[in-house]
Structure 1
Amino acid sequence: MHFTMDDLAQLKVLPTVGPVAEAVFATELLRRGGGGAAFSKWRDDVSLRMRRMPPGPTTPRQTGPPAARTGTGGTWLFDLLDQQTAKGGEGITPDPVVRRMLELGVSPYWGKVRAYLQMDREFRCRMMAGGGIETMLSNLHTWMGWRPPSLTIAAGRGEEIHLDGRGLKIVPSMFIDRPRIFTSRRGEPRTPVLVYPTILDATVANALWDAPGTDARALAALVGRTRARVLEALSETCNTSELGRRLGISPAAASQHATVLRGAGLVTSRRRFNTMLHSLTPLGSALVTMGSPVPKPFTDQEPALSAAR
């Protein structure tokens, strides 16, 4: 993948591809028994749920939109990313196989997964701030290599992609098994999307796959039920009005809760024009994710990421 200076200037790091796209990746991961030891508990629990549910559609040998299998031609992924900016975008109805995985294998964990991916995104942004874009690109994944002005991805095939000023969106994923680049149809000026597997070890994974609701109750006991909901809602950055809508409370009440959590070091706020944007700090993300210390790869000052999956 070949960059120009304009492409580097337009590079963006997003927190997630969203639950529906993750369900596409998770369907293939479960079918192949992939993910290694870090996903063993997830595979066992999801398989058990599927056996207990009424028979669903048969999972074909290859599932999901064609782009999910080939890695390029990502119109379906672009549509999902676009819908995340619209109200109710996560409620899209996918095909039956993916819908089943969304219900049984992604949604029960989505609060924790989303917070963890947000933590990954913040880590990459800190890396760019401290060492520049080249440092971040050089340490995305062991299957990727940066030699200016080109990024090489081990994909098992030869392909040249020239960004030509379109820029690049980089997104971590919990259930994708290897880095993949998604591009639009020839002639469409849409920004390509690079999805890469987040850092995950067995210790962190076991906390992510704990029984849904267990950590939520512990978090509510620690900070209070409403403020626990604020932390969970801020797994995706939003302004004060949107935070109030997510929680069903007034903007004034949302601002008050955010102020208290900011004073505790769990939330950070920054002004953008005439609105205030709120997001989780690494400590806040860790509390929402698993209630344990921030995983070591996300706290390292040096960008040596030998633990990449």
Structure 2
Amino acid sequence: MEDLAQLKVLPTVGPVAEAVFAVDLFRRGGGGAPFTRWRDAVNLRMRRVQPVPVTPRVPRPAGPPASQDGTGGGAWLFDLLAQEQEGTSGDGEHPPDPVVRRMLQLGVAPYWGKARGYLQIDRDYRCRVMAGGGIEGMLRNLHTWVGWRPPTLTIASGRGGEIQLRGRGLAIVPSLFIDRPRIFTGPRDEQRTPVLVYPTILDSAAANTLWDSAGADDRALAALVGRTRARVLEALTETCNTSELGRRLGISPAAASQHAAVLRGAGLITSRRRFNTMLHSLTPLGSALVTVGSPVPKPLTDRGDQGLELTLAP
């Protein structure tokens, strides 16, 4: 119950982590037909830029869930996910690995505006399922390779193993460029919350909409509400207080408060006081504006196979 109470559904791992997944997907030719246009476009762009070393130091897309000495393979993902939640990562980041940096520039950033909205819609759908059918309903319908039989969440991973959460909870995040569910854990002594990254479904129609969005960015939203206020709406896909909002945007808390007040007056965000801080969230109208034009992922309803097990603490 303690682990279930701490379960979180996050909107995205961020563009840098997506670039790491995209490198792996691109190398293996994964993703199937929906990614054909994407691979062709990335190949074309890569031929136009200066080549980089053939053997880059790319973080492992998914380390072992738990090794014998208790360490996990997800430290790099935890760092990037923390940056994303703090609003310090984005299209302008410069990963040290040259191949990841190039993939971010050529294979992720051109589509990130629509992709972020697509993932947000997927996350909102999971939250609605959880609100209407409970946490068990959401877990049972998460992905075809994920199964739920209390108190065990089973992931078809191709490797055996069991992770005892023991009060650490679980974070669940959709990804566009990962093609199978993967679990990321850290060293046991750090007590980091394991992260389950699952692939959002992408059919041909949704893929065409995404790949057609190269270069579109978020200019339409910026033209409607202004560039800074568009960034405020995008930053509020995760609820935060005024100081955090300012940090995410690189502006002062006073300026963040002013922009929030305007958007609140327009019915795009809502604010509520919690102790000495003001928490800001998107309203349904604000969320619709942020995700406008994004394709809608189809829900996954099949049950998965047996594989890696996550055992929730009784």
TM-score scaled by structure 1?
A: 0.81
Tell which has more relative contact order, 1 or 2 (C-alpha 8 A, sep 6+). 2
Residue of structure 2 equivalent to 1:112: 114
Letter in 1 for 2:220: A
Q: Output the CA distance in 2 between the equivalents of 1:188 and 1:236.
A: 25
Matched, 1:30 2:26: yes
Structure 1 residues 194-213: Cα deviation after superposition (integer angstroms, max 9, x where no partner): 11112322222222222444
- Give the C-alpha shift of residue 100 in structure 1: 1.3
Q: What is the aligned partner in structure 2 of residue 78 from structure 1?
A: 78
Hey, what's the Cα distance between the residues in 2 that align with 1:52 and 1:32?
22
What is the alpha-carbon distance in structure 2 between the residues aligned to residue 280 and residue 160 of structure 1?
Answer: 38
Correspondence for 2:45 among 27, 49, 53:
49
SS at the partner of 2:163? coil
Q: Distance in 2 between matches of 1:43 and 1:184?
A: 32
Deviations 1:225-259 (A, max 9, x none): 55444433434443345445627582343123322
Partner Cα separation in structure 2 for residue 198 and residue 172 of structure 1 = 6
Which residue number corresponds to residue 13 of structure 1?
9
SS at match of 2:62: helix
Which residue of structure 1 lines up, in the alignment, with residue 311 of structure 2? none
Q: SS in structure 2 opposite 1:161?
A: strand
The alpha carbon displacement at 1:69 in A equals: 5.5
Work out the CA distance in 1 between the residues paired with 2:79 and 2:173.
Answer: 15
Which stretch shifts more, 150-159 or 188-197? 188-197
- Tell me, what secondary structure is at the counterpart of 1:122? helix
258 and 305 in structure 1: CA distance in 2 versus 1, 3 angstrom threshold: farther
Whole-angstrom CA distance in 2 between matches of 1:215 and 1:107? 9
- Equivalence map 1:1-309=2 (5 Å): 5-59=1-55, 64-66=58-60, 68=62, 70=64, 73=72, 74-86=74-86, 88-90=88-90, 91=93, 93-214=95-216, 216-223=218-225, 225=227, 227-243=229-245, 246=249, 248=251, 250-261=255-266, 263=267, 266-281=268-283, 284-291=286-293, 295=296, 297=298, 305=301
Distance 1:205 1:306 in 2: 21
Contact 1:270-1:278 at 8 Å conserved across structures: yes
Distance across 2 between alignment mates of 1:55 and 1:208: 26
What SS class does the counterpart of residue 218 from structure 2 fall into?
A: helix
Tell me which moved more, 19-28 or 278-287: 278-287
Q: Report the TM-score, using the length of structure 2 for normalisation.
A: 0.79
Shift of 1:276: 3.4
The Cα RMSD (Å) is: 3.1
Q: What secondary structure, in the 3-state scheme, does the structure 2 residue paired with 1:277 have?
A: strand
Of 196-205 and 170-179, deviating more is 196-205
Q: Give the count of matched residue pairs.
A: 293
Q: Aligned equivalents of 2:101 and 2:27: distance in 1?
A: 15
Matched-pair contact (CA < 8 Å) for 1:8–1:167? yes
Tell me which residue corresponds to 2:308: none
Asked if structure 1 preserves the Cα contact closer than 8 Å seen for 2:14 and 2:89, the reply is: no
Task: List runs of 5+ in structure 1 lacking aligned partners.
Answer: 299-303
| C-alpha distance in 1 between matches for 2:184 and 2:26 | 22
Corresponding letter in the other structure for 2:76: W
- Compute the displacement of 1:114 (Å): 2.4
CA–CA distance in 1 between the matches of 2:188 and 2:208? 42
CA contact (8 A) 1:67 1:182 kept: no
